[in-house]
Amino acid sequence: MLIYFLAFVGGILTIVSPCILPVLPFVFSRADQPFRRSGLPLLIGMAITFAALASVATVAGAWIVRANQIGRGLALVVFLAMGLALVFPAIAETLSRPFVRLGERIQHKADAAPNIVQSALLGVATGLLWAPCAGPILGLILTGAAVQGASAQTAISLLAFAVGAALSMGLALLAGNRVFMLMKRSLRVEEWIRRGLGAAVLLGVIAIAFGWDQGILRRISLASTTGIEQNLVDRLHPAKNATAVSTDATQAQPSMTMMAAKNAQAPLPVEGTMPSLDGAVAWLNSPPLSPKDLKGKVVLIDFWTYSCINCLRSIPYIQAWAEKYKGDGLVVIGVHTPEFAFEKDRANVAHAVGELKITYPVAIDSNYAIWKAFNNEYWPAHYFIDRQGKIRHHHFGEGEYDQSERVIRQLLKEGNMPLAVTGLVEVDGQGAQAAADIDNVGSPETYIGYERRQNFMSPEALKKDSGTVYTSPGRLNVNEWALAGKWIVGDERAELIAAPGKIIFRFHARDLHLVLGPAKGNKPVRFRILLDGAPPDADHGTDVDTQGNGTVKEYRLYQLIRQKGKIEDRTFQIEFLDPGVQAFAFTFG
């Protein structure tokens, strides 16, 4: 029941999501009509369309994005007609005439069918445009479907999300109706009100057609629901009650006991007992450890994987804590649980541990045994365990490092144990490990394999596990991407089978990273990148030169762009000059 409640609340919160803003004029354009015959059919049509579309997305795979784009196009046509009808009464009369005739024939009431049918149609179009507005809670539902498979629980969760959004829209519509009627009675300017609403509808159509709803509105919006939704997930869905959903925690989020952590005198609650560490396929930097071996020590468990950008940015702090407090009784254990298949390879993990200069023990959890024992669901995830083996605190995602270190110090000092060191660590991460520019991250982690693919815009239909020639569209909106060349797209990656080949992505962030690897016996693959059609120059990442040249030599995350100036929407292109590269996921910072 908890996930249904979270889904319902997440739907309610979409009313203040930036990408909902262009849709609101369409809803309020019906505010002068009876709710039962106008507002209610609109909301039902919107909720059912969204729930159906999202449900299909969990099982349909390759073709749903294309279907969604077609649906968005049809929705824009519908709204264009509606906007023109609001502005020009003659057009409204022409459009409504067939519905009037149908209503007379069926119900003998000239105004019954038009209102209901047109409102339901408007609701369907609203649902199609509203579907891309997904916050963390909706992401949790869809990720769960991807990991566990489509189920009745997923369908009910999506319906609960849709009902929550419809409820918030309905309340807005009812409030808008009262305001609308007051204006009619006091000012008697109904015609101009409707024309104003029609103009707002047309502006909304233009905004959505040109992608401004994802760009300008995102930057000028005064409200974002992401933090609110993630707090709900964290407070109502803590690790000890977690399901098997797994995802990257893309930015710092406070955990349940963070308020206690900020006050060194406040006691930290007991969240559970430290589970067994059995099940690791190997250990690095240490023999296998167990809770019995760690009795009397304060333990920090860090779930990570070496291609995860959020994990990489956390590691310098974790390494600093391990070195600073080892004399006071702290033991740090990194639990490497893979996201991609290549991260299960022990040699790959050992190489990454060496490159990252990690000296604390690392358990290679390739079978998810420790992950499941902790009921964990995030990379990175940090669990703080006291000297008696009790979990006293947890934190999901990067950030909040000062508060986490204060938790460590508090646990070390329990029982009046003195500390040999004072102050908090200061870390200056370099390259991909540098702190993210969170305020300017407007692009989400984007997977290239078909299992979790979204916003794929090549004109050709994506074919699963089959060599296909793809082309790039002439124009991409922000967060849309495309392939060009002959690729075979698998469940978690795309592999180039004939050079040259390209990936193009329209993004908004300071940093752009891409997880890559050489498929053919680790044979190096040369590549060249462009930023808005030109070499990156000073905006190049650590894995390319100023002219955008680089080489894929191993499976890992490659930093390709780090912008030095103003952060704006940019078009990134990477061209591979040799075949055999595998591309997994874009991440941003």
Q: What is the DSSP string of 403-433?
A: HHHHHHHHHHHTTTPPPS--S-------GGG
Instruction: State the number of CA atoms in the 13 A half-sphere of 70 facing the CB.
Output: 8
d(CA 550, CA 574): 10
What are 487's two structure tokens? Answer: 């690729």
Round to whole Å and give the CA distance between 36 and 351.
Answer: 64
By three-state DSSP, how is residue 88 classified?
A: coil
**In sequence order, which residues have a C-beta less than 8 Å from that of residue 38 and are 6 or more positions away?**
30, 115, 116, 119
Residue 106 tokens, joined: 């069926």
234 in Cβ contact with 396 (< 8 Å): yes
Q: How far apart are CA 356 and CA 305, in angstroms?
A: 12
CB atoms within 10 A of CB 210: 13
Backbone angles phi, psi at 304, to 5 degrees: -150, 170
Tell me the three-class secondary structure of 187-247, residue by residue: HCCHHHHHHHHHHHHHHHHHHHHCCCCCCHHHHHCCCCCHHHHHHHHHHHCCHHHCCCCCE
Is the peptide bond preceding residue 473 cis, with omega within 30 degrees of 0? Answer: no
- DSSP tag of 37: I
DSSP 519-544: TTTT--EEEEEEETTB--GGGB-TTS
Q: Cα(421)–Cα(409) distance, rounded to whole angstroms?
A: 10
Helix, strand and coil content of the chain, in percent to the nearest 5, comes to 45, 20, 35
Distance CA 33, CA 62 (A): 40
d(CA 260, CA 238): 16
List, in order, residues 6 or more apart from 252 with CB less than 8 Å away: 397, 398, 399, 400, 438
- Contact between 168 and 11 under an 8 Å Cβ cutoff? The reply is yes
- pTM recorded for the entire structure: 0.60
- Give the residue among 61, 69, 22 at the shortest CA–CA distance from 473: 69
Rounded Cα distance between 239 and 382, Å, is 10
The ranges of the chain annotated as CATH 2.60.120.260 are 439-588
Q: Which two tokens stand for residue 352?
A: 């990454």
Homologous superfamily assigned to 439-588: Galactose-binding domain-like (2.60.120.260)
- CB neighbour burial string for 106-118, b if at least 16 within 10 angstroms, e if fewer: eeeeebbbbbbbb
Confirm if 231 and 6 have CB atoms less than 8 A apart: no
Buried-exposed string 223-247: b where 16+ CB fall within 10 A, e elsewhere: eebbebbbebbbeebbbeebeebbb
Q: In terms of Cα–Cα distance, which of 88, 89, 78 is closest to 117?
A: 78
Considering the segment(s) 244-433 as one domain, its CATH architecture is 3-Layer(aba) Sandwich (3.40)
CATH 3.40.30.10 residue window(s) in the chain: 244-433
Q: Which residues have a Cβ under 8 Å from the Cβ of 400 and sit 6 or more positions away?
A: 252, 253, 254, 258
Distance between CA atoms of 430 and 412, rounded to whole angstroms?
29
d(CA 7, CA 100): 39
- Structural tokens at position 407: 């938790």
Count Cβ atoms below 10 Å from residue 506 Cβ, excluding itself: 22
What is d(CA 408, CA 401) in angstroms, rounded to the nearest whole number?
11
63: DSSP letter:
G
- CA gyration radius, the chain: 27
Amino acid occupying residue 396: F
Torsional sign, CA 7, 11, 12, 13: positive
Query: Six-digit token pair at 424?
Result: 């908090």
Which two structure tokens, joined as six digits, stand for 39? 């507002």
What span, in angstroms and rounded, lies between the C-alpha atoms of 587 and 251?
12
Each of the 589 residues of the chain gets a pLDDT tens digit; together they read 556 676 777 677 666 554 455 555 556 655 566 767 777 777 787 777 766 765 565 444 333 333 444 445 555 665 576 667 656 767 756 654 554 454 344 334 433 444 577 677 767 766 655 555 544 445 555 545 444 444 566 667 777 777 787 787 777 666 665 554 554 454 455 456 556 656 765 776 676 565 554 444 333 333 333 444 445 444 544 443 332 334 454 443 434 344 444 444 578 999 999 999 999 999 999 999 999 999 999 999 999 999 999 999 999 999 999 999 999 999 999 999 999 999 999 999 999 999 999 999 999 999 999 999 999 999 999 999 999 999 999 999 998 999 999 999 999 999 788 888 888 999 988 889 999 999 999 999 999 999 998 999 999 999 999 999 999 998 999 999 999 999 999 999 999 999 999 999 999 999 999 999 998 777 999 999 999 999 999 999 999 999 999 999 999 999 999 999 999 999 999 999 999 999 999 999 9
pLDDT of residue 519: 87
Give the SS3 label for residue 281: coil
CA atoms within 13 A on the CB side of 433: 15
* Distance (Å, whole) CA 281 – CA 271: 27
Whole-angstrom distance, CA of residue 456 vs CA of residue 489: 12
Looking at residue 512, its amino acid is L
Tell me if 508 sits within 8 A of 567, measured CB to CB. Answer: yes
For residues 164 and 12, is the Cβ–Cβ distance under 8 A? yes
